Structure 1
Amino acid sequence: MSPRHFKRPADLLDAAREMADTGRPTLARLLAEEAADRTNDPTEAKRILSTFTGPSLRREK
């Protein structure tokens, strides 16, 4: 298996969907949060986060 490269938000979303489909919702949420962070459109970022529900595990600084 070749390593994955996450160069675009879409790459992260693909991985998030795969994690969700295989029963790893926490990892899916973390990947979705990173995709949302890398998205320039705030509306799209909000949509991404609404698709992958659950609490964030991020610690605010």
Structure 2
Amino acid sequence: MPQTFNTPADYVDAAREMADAGRPALARLLAEEAADRTPDPNASARILAEFPGHSLQREG
């Protein structure tokens, strides 16, 4: 069954899967998307802290 992305938690779960699979850049992108969709700034910061690195999102 394909994975659906309806909540920030879905993105975090996928980010963890990518991190476990050795794909840190994709994990970071998914974490950034989760953080962007999380209304609580503290929760967003915790998500990004779990997946360290520079932002990989494109501007614009």
The TM-score bracket by the shorter chain reads over 0.9
Rg larger for:
1
- 1:11 counterpart residue number: 10
What's the CA shift string for 1:24-43, capped at 9, x where partnerless? 00000000000000101000
Is 1:37 matched with 2:36?
yes
CA distance in 2, matches of 1:27, 1:14: 12
CA distance in 1, matches of 2:59, 2:2: 30
CA distance in 2, matches of 1:4, 1:50: 24
- 1:21 counterpart residue number: 20
Unaligned 5+ runs, structure 2: none
TM-score (norm 1): 0.91
Deviation at 1:60, TM superposition (A): 2.8
What's the CA shift string for 1:7-54, capped at 9, x where partnerless? 011111000000000100000000000000010100000110011001
CA distance in 1, matches of 2:3, 2:9: 12
What is the RMSD computed on CA atoms of the aligned residues?
A: 0.9
